[in-house]
Amino acid sequence: MYQPQPSDKFTFGLWTVGATGRDPFGEPTRPPLSAPYIVEKLAQLGAYGVNLHDNDLVPIDAGAGERDRIVREFQQTLGDHGLVVPMATTNLFTDPAFKDGAFTSADARVRAYALQKTMRSMDLGHELGAQTYVFWGGREGTEVDASGKLLDSIGWFRDSLNFLAEYSQSQGYGYRFALEPKPNEPRGDIFFPTAGSMLGFIATLDQSELFGVNPEFAHDTMAGLNFTHAVAQIIDAGKLFHVDLNDQKMGRFDQDLRFGAENIKSAFFLVKLLEDSGYDGPRHFDAHALRTEDEVGVWAFARGCMRTYLILKDKARQFDEDPEIQAALQAYRVEDKELSELTRGFTPEKARTLKERAFDRVALGQRGPGLEQLDQLTVELLLGVR
């Protein structure tokens, strides 16, 4: 039971299970794991695929020969273990060259280098079969707004994405691009901090239909926002191109906890939303094992992310089949065919009718919708006593 299968489409970044436990205050606590070894282990655990930044696989200073050898060996391992690479992305944040931004750097040379690095990384992703290309603008932001570059930065970012979309087409790559919002960390303020602001920006791109969002549980939670609400808005806009699953205590530093480790109720409503919406992309875990752990803990972490998702998916099914919960849901909604007709699709006639209609305002205010009972039933379902 709850054994992950490739058909569940669970993916991990090489950088996630490969995280060595380094943090701003401490050295690594675990030795690095090689990319082929990670593929082998993830396949054993039932994952579908693995995602990567260019430099998770190929060192930033590798020559062409070394790069090709690494890629060949990696392709071989993927094939041997039946894992795919559905998503690729660029590391535009680790190297000091990007310390004040990549596409939004005030230095035109850095912006040009960022474009070059991304095109090469898109070549790599395509070689490995990736169809989704993620942009997380980790260094695209500021601490010091005296720089006066806010409006320019938005323009530079737009120019870069327009350029890269055309590059993808000219090469026949057919990528869909997913932009990943985060409010802060590592920059004091990162541009386009929320899903809504990213959606607004996407609408200004030349080929906006190629661009969607890659929301992350931890990012919205850091900002005190409700991640499930953000995902609902993205789904409504037809822009859920990818999703980063993990967990996070509100208001803390970026924790990237095991999925469901902290906010189990939010995780449940998120899984239910994803499953109900028919989202069929990868369920990508962008998280890592606690710094306290050794390699055994890393695989316990990975297994745990997938098991919790499957358990919550099963709970969502139970929720839909539970007669008491369904009755409470039915009682919560008040349907009125005539009024629904009247309030959808403006006509002068409908407006007149509505304005003349008498409503029992007091009775409307007196109705108890039953949400306490509905929520308690949900909690009991999650606690396993239903």
Taking CB under 6 A as the criterion, which residues in 327-386 touch ligand 3MF?
none
189 is catalytic: no
Helix (H) or strand (E) holding 303, with range, is helix 295-321
**Binding partner of residue 220 among ligand 3MF, Mg ion, none, CB cut-off 5 to 8 Å per kind:** none
331 to 64, 322, 328, 334: CA distances (angstroms): 65, 14, 5, 7
E strands of the chain, at which residues?
10-13, 49-53, 87-89, 132-136, 141-142, 176-180, 189-190, 211-213, 244-245, 283-285
Options 54, 56, 100, 180; binder of ligand 3MF; rule CB under 6 A: 180
Annotated binding-site members for Mg(2+): 180, 216, 219, 244, 254, 256, 286
Residues touching ligand 3MF, count (CB under 6 A)? 10
Tokens of 73: 């060996």
CB of 180 to ligand 3MF, least distance (A): 5
User: Is position 288 annotated as part of the catalytic site?
Assistant: no
Catalytic residue among 53, 126, 242, 288: 53
Q: Using the rule CB under 6 A, is 244 a contact of ligand 3MF?
A: yes
Q: Is 134 a binder of ligand 3MF (CB under 6 A)?
A: yes
Sign of the alpha-carbon torsion through 48, 52, 58, 64 = positive
Q: Which of residues 12-51 bind ligand 3MF (CB under 6 A)?
A: 15
Which of 262/286 has CB closer to Mg ion? 286
> What is the amino acid identity at position 116?
Q
For the record, the structure tokens of 338 come out as 């005539």
Nearer Cβ to ligand 3MF, position 252 or 317? 252
Q: Is 177 or 201 the residue whose CB approaches ligand 3MF more closely?
A: 177
Active-site residue list: 53, 56
Interacting residues with ligand 3MF (CB under 6 A): 15, 89, 134, 136, 180, 182, 216, 244, 254, 286
